[in-house]
Amino acid sequence: MATSGKLALVATLVILTGGAVALVRSRRAAHEAPPPIASEAAPAARARSTAAVNAVPGATGAPDAGPSPEAFDCTQRNAVLVTVDGTDVVAGPLCDELSLTTGLGPIVDPAALTRFARPLLEQAVDVLLIDAALAAKGRPLRDDEVDREVTRTAPRATGVELTALRRQLRRRAGLGRLIDLLGPATVTDAEVSAEYLAGSDRWGVERGPATAEGFLYGLSPRASNAEVARARGAADRVADALRAGTPGTQTAAVKNLGTITIKASGVEPELEERVGKASAGTVLDPIRTRAGWLVVRVISAGERRARPQAEVAGDIRRTLEARRRAEEETRVLRELRQHARMTYHVRW
């Protein structure tokens, strides 16, 4: 697998859930001293690291909402980030993953620390809690089970990429097993009927592909609030120009996409819903999409066909089961954290 492919894979899988033992270093041996926060030979680095891992746990075991450190020093690999029921999660492996997935250097600024490091740390905490819960129920998740899933998902993964993938897949598989032990997420026929009636626009009508003229002001996923607001203003001016019949006043930063086809796929739900309800010729206000602010002039909203409940009952049931399972996952993780002894040693 090429390096760029590895980066894309890991960056994509960061949003999954998983677990890696490599982030963990137990302090349960009585003779073991706490890991060093900084080297005696580097007072400046020690000051940065001490600020970053200053032990100020929140009231519910969450990171304190106090002021963030000026930076986080990834050269302090043994710095403890969080302690969960006597087990420490240290900075080194997390920093390795940050370097691979984001290209961040050894000194991580506060914004990047919150945006990129925190999700990885929370995944590691989840894994510790899930593993302990499964062990208590006599159904631990074995390493070979995780290895099989890794082989199926990314057989060529190595090094830091493999460590990240193992953590993500371990979290997902472990949480799934824990939910299964609590019982299946059953959905009744009455609940299916209620969902069909409540979501008649979604379930009771099948819309064909819509077509529209598209005008996009592209935005980076890392765009600041100021950049987002500035782009929205430019997109508003494009929409006003289209309504006034003076498209020549458009800004050069907005790309004319020509005629685009919009299908009811769920990828951009707001776009799909608003275009589906609009009449031909309507210029919609800017819609925030994954690519940026999009202005559309509707050409056709697509043909509509009524769908009886019997036709979509299976889809509704699967949707409700997935929704209930997601709610159960959120509830279980919240309860695991509430009953754990957790101390965060880092401010966000």
- 237-267 pLDDT per residue, tens: 999 999 988 766 556 678 889 999 998 777 8
| Cα 300 versus chain centre, distance | 34
Distance CA(37)–CA(75), nearest Å, equals: 10
Tell me, what's the pLDDT at 74?
Answer: 79
Nearest to 316 by CA among 193, 179, 183: 193
Q: 187-227 pLDDT, tens per residue?
A: 999 999 999 999 887 888 887 889 999 999 998 877 888 88
Angle at 342 between CA 337 and CA 347, to 5 degrees: 105
Tell me, what's the pLDDT at 35?
Answer: 33
Close Cβ partners of 331 (under 8 Å, ≥ 6 residues apart): none
| Whole-number Cα distances in Å, 280 to 151, 238, 256 | 50, 18, 19
Confidence of residue 335 (pLDDT cuts 50, 70, 90): very high
- Residue/partner pairs of 33-37 with CB below 8 Å, 24 or more apart: 34/80, 35/78, 35/79, 35/80, 35/88, 35/90, 36/76, 36/78, 37/76, 37/78, 37/79, 37/80
Confidence of residue 87 (pLDDT cuts 50, 70, 90): very high
- Top-ranked range on mean pLDDT: pick from 11-20, 29-38, 66-75, 160-169: 160-169
Tell me, what's the pLDDT at 48?
Answer: 30
Could you tell me the pTM of the whole model?
A: 0.59
Task: For residue 289, give the 3-state DSSP assignment.
Answer: coil
Distance CA(233)–CA(62), nearest Å, equals: 37
- Cβ atoms of 44 and 62 within 8 Å: the answer is no
Burial state string for 78-100 with b = 16 or more CB within 10 A and e = fewer than 16: ebbbbbbeebbbbbbbbbbbbeb
Distance CA(116)–CA(122), nearest Å, equals: 11
Average pLDDT value over all residues in the chain: 77
- Top-ranked range on mean pLDDT: pick from 33-47, 121-135, 190-204: 121-135
Higher pLDDT, 333 or 102: 333
| Domains annotated on the chain, with CATH | 3-183+331-344 (no CATH), 205-306 (3.10.50.40)
Task: For residue 288, give the 3-state DSSP assignment.
Answer: strand
- Cβ atoms of 82 and 343 within 8 Å: the answer is yes
